[in-house]
Amino acid sequence: MMIEMTSLQRRALRARAHSLLPVASISQNGLSDAVLAEIDRGLKAHELIKVRVYGVERGEREALLAAICSRLEAAPVQHIGNILVVYRANPEVPAKSAKPAKNTASRAKPKSPARTASPRQRLKK
């Protein structure tokens, strides 16, 4: 069973995945149990991962992405070239709560009168 996502969710995940490095590789042995276990570990640790595929034609890469997502209950985010991007929410990690932005102006130290006055004004005092 694959997770369905909206286009907005997929776009946000693609942006997050841009700077990631691949955590697993699929080569001549195909999608073995060891590779699936490594992808599963990566999803548990990071939720969003890249997988590099070597020596496989485009149609086969699409099938690999679908197989990974259905077997690991994940969502396909992107398939670009030899890179597959996969997402699965980690139920063990609490969702990040939306905190209001910190107001840096309220934390700034008030300036002392000596620092706000110009040198000429300080001499007059």
Per-block average pLDDT, block size 10, for the chain (125 residues)? 83 94 91 94 94 92 93 94 93 55 55 62 65
Q: Which two tokens stand for residue 35?
A: 């590779």
* Closest to 36 (Cα-Cα) out of 65, 78, 4, 77: 65
Whole-number pLDDT of residue 26: 93
Burial of 42 (0-12, 13-18, 19+ CB in 10 A): buried
| Domains of the chain (ranges, CATH numbers) | 7-87 (3.30.110.60)
Whole-number pLDDT of residue 14: 94
Whole-number pLDDT of residue 95: 54
Report the SS3 class of residue 23. strand
Whole-number pLDDT of residue 65: 94
pTM above 0.85, yes or no: no
Residues 6+ apart with CB under 8 A from 30: 64
Whole-number pLDDT of residue 105: 55
